[in-house]
Structures are given as C-alpha cells and as structure tokens.
Amino acid sequence: MDRLDALRVFCAVVEHSSFSRAATELNISVAKTSKLVQSLEQALNTSLLRRNTRRITLTEAGERYYHDVVPLLEEMANIDARVERMTTTITGTLRMTMPLDFGRRLIMPLIPDFKLTYPDLELDIELSDRHADLVAEGFDLGLRVANLKDSSLIAKPLGTYRMKCAASPEYLARHPAINTPEDLEAHPCLTYSLSAQPSNWHLIRGEEEARVRVRSALQLNNGDLLAQAACQHLGVLYQPDFILSTYLDSGALTPILTDWQDRMVHAWLVYPARKYLPMKVQAMLGFLKNHLSDQ
Amino acid sequence: MDRLDALRVFCAVVEHSSFSRAATELNISVAKTSKLVQSLEQALNTSLLRRNTRRITLTEAGERYYHDVVPLLEEMANIDARVERMTTTITGTLRMTMPLDFGRRLIMPLIPDFKLTYPDLELDIELSDRHADLVAEGFDLGLRVANLKDSSLIAKPLGTYRMKCAASPEYLARHPAINTPEDLEAHPCLTYSLSAQPSNWHLIRGEEEARVRVRSALQLNNGDLLAQAACQHLGVLYQPDFILSTYLDSGALTPILTDWQDRMVHAWLVYPARKYLPMKVQAMLGFLKNHLSDQ
DNA sequence: TCACTGTTTTCCAAATTCGAAAAAGCCATT
DNA sequence: AATGGCTTTTTCGAATTTGGAAAACAGTGA
C-alpha cells in the first residue's frame, strides 16, 4: 500500500469522521479506505482511530499524528506543484554547449530573437571546441559539428554544411598547383583536431571517393584560427563553409579542388536520452530547427 | 511502488551519485532502485536525473525536488519517531470512565500508588453512573459493574463482588419479617437503574434460584445514594458489598436473607477492540489486576 | 425484534512487484 | 579496434499485493 496514499486517506477519514464519506470524497472503495488505514496503523504499530461501526474518534497517538501529517501533506503538494510548474512552463536555465565558431557565426545572431520569444528562460551557453560530457557536466543540450560518437545521447540533425578546401592566393601562387586530391599530400595542411581523423581528408566527385592522408603542419581545435593561419599562408585548409564564407567573400582565401563535390558535414543537436524532455529543451530544439534550416 | 520509498531512494541516489551504491546502502536490489526512481519520474512527468551508465547529475527540476524533499523526509521521520515514542513509553493521558461509587471506594485509594509508578502518565477519569460510549467519547478504558451489553469492546474480568440485601434496623422493626425471597414482594425496594433489569432481583441458595419481581419505591443510578435512602428507612436495598460494607460495619444497615448465598457480580475492564493496545492502557490494566484481585 | 447504516473481513481474479540474469552502454587500458 | 570492468536498464516468470463485491458484523432507532 502506498504510504503517501495511506496518509491522505487517514486525513480524509479524520476530517469526515467516517470511512465511507472519505471513500466517496476520494473516489475509492470503502474497502480500500479501511485497508489503507489499517496498513498505516500496522506500519506505525499503533491504533490511530478508535472505531466501531457507528463512530470514529482519534486516539491520542492519532491526534498527534493527524496534527503533524496535515502540514506535511500540504508541503508535499506544494513541492509537486512546483515541479509541475517547472515542467509545464518554459522557465529556469537552459545549459548548452556548442563549438565556438558555430556558436559565434550561426547561433549568437539568433539569441536576441530567442530571448524575445522566451523571456523567462535563462541561457547558460558554454562555447567550447571539445566534446563535453553532457551528463557529467549537466548540460541540457549540446550542439555538435562532427561525427557523433556512439552514445546514449539522442541526436537530432540540425543542418548540413559543405566541407571546402581553400588556401590563400599568395600560398597558391608560391606552391605547386592542386588539381587532384592526391596533390594535397605534398602540401602542409591545417587540420582540425576534433575531427574523428584529423589528417584523413575525404573528398567526393560523383561516384568517385578520395581519401587522402595529409601532412598536418598545424592542428587546432578551432576552425576560425585555422582559417586565420591559412590567411597567413601556412597551408591548405579543409573546413565547413560557415567558417570559410567570410574569408572567401573577402578574397583572403581562394577555393581549390572546386570540381570535387564537397562532402557534407552534419550539425547535430544532442541531449541526454530522456523520456520526459523538459519544455525548455523542446523550445530550443524547435527554435533552432526553424531558424537554422531556412538560413 | 510506494511513493515515500521512492523519495527515499531518490535522495539516496542523489547523495551517492550512484544507483548501485544507493541500493547497497538501503539494502535493496539495484533493479528496484532503478525502477523506483523511474516510477517517481513518471509520477512527476519529469526527468530528475541525467544519467548514463557512468555518471549521474541532477536536472534543474531534480535539483529543486531534492532540495525540497530532504527536509520533508526528515520531518516525516520525526513524526514517525514521535508516534513510536508515544507507543513505547507510558506517557500522555489515559482517559477512563467508571461508576462513581466504585471509583470512590475501590479505585481512588490506589491512584497515589499508580501515579508513583507511572509519574509521566496523566489521568483523566470521569466518574459517572452511566454507560458511556467509549468510542464516541474517546475513552481509553472503562470500568463496568454490570452485565455487559454485547459490544465490539474487549472486556477483561477485574474482580467479583457479592450482592447483598439489607435494610435499616428501624425499617425491619416496623415491617413484616423477610425470611424468603418472595417476602420481598411486599416491601418497598430501592433499585439501581443501571442494572439490566432493576426490578428483577436474583438470589441463590445452593442449587435453588429465586427471581423476584420487586416493587421499586425509589430508583437511582447511584448505589451510595440508594444506601443512604435505606438508612432513612425508605426500603430494602440490594447492592454489592463494596457499597454496603461501610453501612453494615457502622450498624446503620442490617443484612437480611443471609442464608441465601449472595449472587456474584463481576466488575469488568472494557476498552475499544484494538490490535495495538497502547502501553498506557496496558499499564492500567496490569496495575488494577494486581491491586484489586488481592484486595 | 427488525430494518438500516456503516465498518471490516473474505474471497479471488487481476495487476503489480521483485530479483536474477541478460543486455546495453560507457570508459580506460591495451 | 578490442578487452574488460563497472554501471544502469530491461526482461521474464514467480510470488506477492491489490482492490472491489459481497458477506459478515455491530450499533441504532423504530
């Protein structure tokens, strides 16, 4: 028998001075009412109610118990109501983690709009180029631009981006031409440490696949800094378009191997597997889906 | 699943940051631990813990819930402890009811001794010549000198007393002699209203039984006042020896029909049927048994 | 004594609970 | 990549518990 139910039933019986009225009130059978009170008495090894078939009065222990239990039940109801409110409204703090560049270029511009939509939701965003452990560090939501490790996390695709090769015009002028993927092997390359295999670049043209093992002249966990290195003529870059676009537009970098169809990279939203996804997470999921897919 | 158990398990899991350590601590299986927390989450329709197989952290709702529930559980434990103390020690108030004369003559003399034995137990004694409803009026214990009505009450025999016939010497001198029970029918009698059948007197001699329907000149619910009426020569009295003894010793009343073996009357302790008899009631039961039987 | 109301007990089918073991997942090490 | 240790979750069948209908029982008033 559920102890908390037993307490509630006991209180109802006391308040109505009757098992049958309490049962009616609580919408349970009279038999259950009787059994629950008995189970409570058994658990406490005490009679709480003096009773015959016509009357009910509290024993001294019962009086004390009732007196103490009523505020406890009220408090319990308050606690439940508080949690209920937390789950049905979009409030509190949403803790996220995402790669620095992705956050800076794609997410931050959306934040003002988000805050207007959900003014009561605090955001706690960690910008970090590493794979944080969502569970260990208490993140509600993570944003990943990479191959996902196997994990108990739930992953939702957020968008796809194209990987492009590029280098600075000056670098290209001073080094051998790059016409095929294999030509890359002769060049110093700028590699991204969070890729599954940083030095293995993977290009596609029609049905044709090329896997090139490049020489890493510089490896970083931050794509923007890699691009800046490329601008300083340090080597060939292989990064998603949302990083490169600024540099290509300004002419600081020049695309190469443009006839090779760029491989797609997926961005993912990941969150700890849960049956009961909090509203705040759902809100962010929906918001990002809407605002990033039609970008 | 017991909700209160679920709360305790949830708190233990939080405190140990581990289902298995919590299970060990609480001496339950790991499976049960997992299921209890799940049932709690289901009841609240919220995830309380982010978890994978290696780590556990609280969600925002879980944090709040844990924070609120810990003091609640403590309070619950206090309440239980308080009741536990009430049932294992002899304290509080014992509410009794008993007939006025019986109380005055037989019980009151024992009270000082009782209070010395159980100094922490308050006594609330109602002296009343009526059959109080123990349940309705919240008595822990009743003392009855009469035939018991059928009832759900538990009755324990406390002692036996002899019914005697008596009248004042002056009355006897002025009225016809009383040699057989049937002679009583010609006399005005003093009857006790709380007897099952006040006007039917029942005397015994060996195997011989006599049931006499007497004429009631005065009927009261108090034996002592009846005896005083007899002293004023109002009629013949039929009362237990503990009432009569004072009057017989002083010579104010004279016994009659002495060859008729006096019928026994029983005194009973009665209390509401209960599985869990409070210590205070047990104490009084034991005390009266000891001090009244060797009287 | 009977009728009526209210509580407890009994009975039994249905639902739930329980633990052991298997499965699944994570992580560090090799 | 594979291994092994550690943890949580799921599965599954046996055992227990639950819950409601009805019977039994008690007190009350007619």
Which pLDDT tens digits describe chain B residue by residue (295 residues)? 799 999 999 999 999 999 999 999 999 999 999 999 999 999 999 999 998 888 899 999 999 999 999 999 999 999 999 999 998 999 999 999 998 888 988 999 999 999 999 999 999 999 987 778 888 899 999 998 876 665 778 888 888 888 889 999 999 999 999 999 999 999 999 998 877 778 888 888 888 888 899 999 998 888 899 999 999 999 999 999 889 999 999 999 999 998 886 677 888 899 987 788 999 999 999 999 898 864 4
Q: Which nucleotides of C are covered by protein (CB under 7 A)?
A: 5-10, 16-21, 24-27
Test B87 with A53 for CB contact under 8 angstroms: no
**B53 contact residues in A (CB cutoff 8 A):** 152
Q: Which nucleotides of D are covered by protein (CB under 7 A)?
A: 6-11, 17-22, 25-28
DSSP B261: B
Cβ B106 vs Cβ B234: under 8 Å: no
Q: How far is B245 from chain A (nearest CA, A)?
A: 38
* HSE value, Cβ hemisphere, 13 Å, CA-based, for A126: 17
The H or E element containing residue A44 is helix A30-44
For the purposes of burial, counting CB atoms within 10 Å of the CB of B207, is it exposed (0-12), middle (13-18) or buried (19 or more)? Answer: exposed
3-class DSSP state for residue B295?
A: coil
Report which residue is nearest nucleotide C21 when distances run from CA to C1': B31
Interface of B with A in 131-170 (CB under 8 A): 133-138, 140, 151-152
List B residues 169-208 in contact with A (Cβ-Cβ < 8 A): none
Question: What is the structure's pLDDT at B261?
Answer: 67
Is the Cβ atom of B289 within 7 Å of strand D at any atom?
no
Structure-token pair, residue A19: 């098992």
Asked whether residue A18's C-beta has any atom of DNA/RNA strand C within 7 A, the reply is: yes
Which A residues 253-272 touch B at CB under 8 Å? Answer: 272
Residues 9-38/A with CB within 7 Å of nucleic chain D are 28-32, 35
- State which residue of chain B sits closest to A5, comparing Cα positions: B3
The pLDDT value given to residue A292: 80
Can you name the residues that pair with A97 across neighbouring β-strands? A126, A142
User: Which residues in chain B have Cβ-Cβ distances shorter than 8 Å to A86?
Assistant: 46, 60-61, 64
Distance B31 CA to D10 C1' (A): 9
Q: Is the shortest CB-to-strand distance from A52 to strand D under 7 Å?
A: yes
CB contact (8 A) between residue B60 and residue A92: yes
Tell me if chain A has a CB within 8 Å of the CB of B41.
Answer: yes
Q: What is the pLDDT of residue B132?
A: 81
- What confidence score (pLDDT) does residue B231 get? 95
Q: Poorest-confidence range of A11-20, A257-266, A281-290, B216-225?
A: A257-266
* Nearest nt by C1' to A16 Cα: C6
A146 contact to strand D (CB, 7 A limit): no
Across the interface, whether the CB atoms of B87 and A46 are under 8 A apart is answered yes
CA separation for the pair B180, B187 (Å, rounded): 12
**Residue B111: predicted pLDDT:** 94
Q: What is the pLDDT of residue B195?
A: 77
Interatomic separation, CA of residue A187 and C1' of nucleotide D14, rounded (Å): 69
Q: What is the mean pLDDT of residues A186-191?
A: 94
Q: Write down the residue that tokens 């511009």 correspond to.
A: A109
What average pLDDT score do residues A98-107 get? 90
Q: Which of A3, A60, A69 sits opposite B86 (nearest CB)?
A: A60
Cβ <8 Å between B51 and A76: no
Q: What is the pLDDT of residue B222?
A: 85
Contacts of B140 in chain A (CB under 8 A): 59-60
* Of residues A8 and B152, more confidently modeled: A8
Does the pLDDT at position A264 exceed 90? no
| Helices within B1-110 (DSSP H only) | 3-16, 19-26, 30-44, 60-88, 100-102
Q: Averaged over A167-175, what is the pLDDT?
A: 95
Question: In Å, what is the separation between the CA of A30 and the C1' of C3?
Answer: 22
Report the residue of chain B nearest A55, measured CA to CA. Answer: B136
Handedness of CA B69, B72, B78, B80 (dihedral sign): negative
Contact B275 A41 (CB under 8 A): yes
CA torsion through residues B129, B187, B171, B201, sign = negative
Q: Which amino acid is at B151?
A: S
The Cα–Cα gap between B144 and B125 comes to 13
**Cβ separation of B46 and A276 shorter than 8 Å?**
yes
Residue A97 pLDDT more than 60? yes
Task: Kindly state the DSSP code that residue A131 receives in the 8-state scheme.
Answer: -
pLDDT score, position B295:
47
Whether A114 has a pLDDT exceeding 90, the answer reads: yes
**Kind and range of the H or E element at B166?**
strand B153-167
Q: Is the CB of A61 under 7 A from strand D?
A: no
Separation in Å, CA of B257 to nearest CA in chain A:
43
Residues on chain A touching B52 (C-beta within 8 angstroms): 135, 151-152, 272
CA to C1' distance (Å), from A30 to C13: 19
- Report the candidate in A240, A282, A281 with the shortest Cα–Cα distance to residue A262: A240
Give long-range contacts, CB 8 A cutoff, 24+ apart: A176-183.
A178/A236, A178/A256, A178/A257, A179/A257, A180/A210, A180/A257, A181/A210, A181/A212, A181/A257, A181/A260, A182/A210, A182/A212
Helix or strand run (H / E) with residue B111: helix B111-117
Q: Are A82 and A74 in contact (CB under 8 A)?
A: no
Asked if B93 and A134 come within 8 Å (Cβ–Cβ), the reply is no
β partners of residue B164: B239
* Token pair belonging to A85: 């409110």
Q: What are phi and psi of B31, to 5 degrees?
A: -60, -45
Please give the protein residue whose CA is closest to the C1' of the nucleotide C6: A53
Report the candidate in A211, A258, A213, A252 with the shortest Cα–Cα distance to residue A234.
Answer: A252
- Does pLDDT of A247 surpass 50? yes
- Give me the pLDDT at residue B273, please: 77
Specify the pLDDT at position A96. 94
The answer to whether A132 CB sits below 7 Å from nucleic acid chain C is: no
**Residue A20 Cβ under 7 A from any strand C atom:** yes
pLDDT value of position B58: 95
Output b/e per residue, B42-64; b: 16+ Cβ within 10 A. Answer: eebebbbbbbeeebbbbbbbbbb
